[in-house]
Amino acid sequence: MRGLLTNTFLTALVSGGLLAGVPLLFGSLGETISERAGILNIGLEGMMLMGAYAGFIGALYSDSPWVGLLAGIAAGAFTSLFMVVLCVRLGLDQIVIGIALTLLAEGITSVLHGAQFGVTYPRLGAVSLVTIPMLSRIPVLGHSLFSQPLVVYLGFAVVVLTHWTFRATNVGLNLRAAGEKPEALDAAGVSVTTTRSWAVLTTGALAGLGGGYISIVGAGIFVPFMTNGAGFISIVIAMLARGRPLWVIAGSLLFGMSLSVATALQLAGINIPTDAVHMLPFATVVLALVIFARQAYLPAALGVPYVRGAR
């Protein structure tokens, strides 16, 4: 156990945690927006997977990670369109549609990948890092924290932006009203349907970006089912963060670290079975739920389709 506090271990833990945590950050931020507006988006996993596939294809053919990430955003938003039409506009069951979207995304990405590449997995080039001059010199953690792809910094910026939007703008107020008391929003003359539609679209875009990050920045390849539950973990993070964007950062990094602890432990010379390690993030979630269940908070009108005049 002597190796646990060495630089290698801490660096691997922190940079690995960031690498695995950033897609969770995008995913759970998206889920936060949609949950606050009253839509429980169980299709997040599917949206992330579509983003991962489209992002990979985009980056592969354009040779640019940015085009890839944009393709991921587009694919995620496109997938969420189904949710907008079926759940927000028509009021269909959000859980059924969410499961359907996830199954469809898993099947379609696997089939498309198989039809195109068979069992080969082409690799993308590494993404260039942006190093922040002074801060990256901080011993131990400086380099792993402040030498990251640009999109990581963007991610944190988007969280702060969302926080500000919820706190200080009319848009944020409308979003929250759509989740807490949609009839009040309607009475104030703002369309609940439109507000929720934009929320779900934003969620899809962010989930797609998170998925794109997984395939383009994180792995550099696309493998079917590669999101491997990241979408579902994001949903839990969003629930535990109780709709507060800044807590989303903390949650994502924590879960990211529990995802990356395996590699870090191996670097420190401690071998534990990979299956045990893969259990860790999910076990953390369950443990967190058991401990903090009382405090998990969900908006009053979550999951309830809005029908004007219905009681």
Task: Name the residues that contact other proteins, by CB under 8 A.
Answer: 40, 42, 82, 86, 90-93, 95-97, 99-108, 110-115, 118, 224, 229, 232, 235-236, 239, 273, 275-276, 278-279, 282-283, 285-286, 289-290, 293-294, 296, 298
75 within 8 A of 51, measured Cβ to Cβ:
yes
Closest approach, Cβ 145 to other proteins, in A, equals 29
Closest approach, Cβ 144 to other proteins, in A, equals 27
Closest approach, Cβ 178 to other proteins, in A, equals 19
Q: Which of 240, 232, 245 is nearest to 176 (CA)?
A: 245
> Looking at beta carbons only, is 9 or 247 nearer to other proteins?
247
Closest approach, Cβ 127 to other proteins, in A, equals 28
227 within 8 A of 17, measured Cβ to Cβ:
no
Closest approach, Cβ 137 to other proteins, in A, equals 39
3-state secondary structure of 135: helix
Q: For residues 152 and 146, give the distance between their C-alpha atoms in angstroms, rounded to a whole number.
A: 10
Q: For residues 261 and 269, give the distance between their C-alpha atoms in angstroms, rounded to a whole number.
A: 12
Closest approach, Cβ 238 to other proteins, in A, equals 10
> Looking at beta carbons only, is 11 or 258 nearer to other proteins?
258
> Looking at beta carbons only, is 154 or 280 nearer to other proteins?
280
> Looking at beta carbons only, is 112 or 250 nearer to other proteins?
112
In this structure, the number of other CB atoms found within 10 A of the CB of residue 288 comes to 18
Residue 38, Ramachandran bin (φ over 0: left; ψ between -120 and 50: alpha; else beta): left
Closest approach, Cβ 52 to other proteins, in A, equals 15
Closest approach, Cβ 148 to other proteins, in A, equals 28
Q: Which of 186, 244, 283, 248 is nearest to 21 (CA)?
A: 248
> Looking at beta carbons only, is 91 or 142 nearer to other proteins?
91
> Looking at beta carbons only, is 86 or 154 nearer to other proteins?
86
What are the angstrom distances between the C-alpha of 308 and each of 94, 116, 186, 191?
Answer: 18, 47, 8, 10
Closest approach, Cβ 176 to other proteins, in A, equals 20
> Looking at beta carbons only, is 14 or 40 nearer to other proteins?
40
> Looking at beta carbons only, is 166 or 232 nearer to other proteins?
232
User: What interhelical angle do 44-62 and 230-240 show, nearest 10?
Assistant: 130
> Looking at beta carbons only, is 3 or 122 nearer to other proteins?
122
Q: For residues 33 and 39, give the distance between their C-alpha atoms in angstroms, rounded to a whole number.
A: 9
Q: For residues 263 and 294, give the distance between their C-alpha atoms in angstroms, rounded to a whole number.
A: 33
154 within 8 A of 25, measured Cβ to Cβ:
no
Burial of 311 (0-12, 13-18, 19+ CB in 10 A): exposed
Q: For residues 302 and 114, give the distance between their C-alpha atoms in angstroms, rounded to a whole number.
A: 38
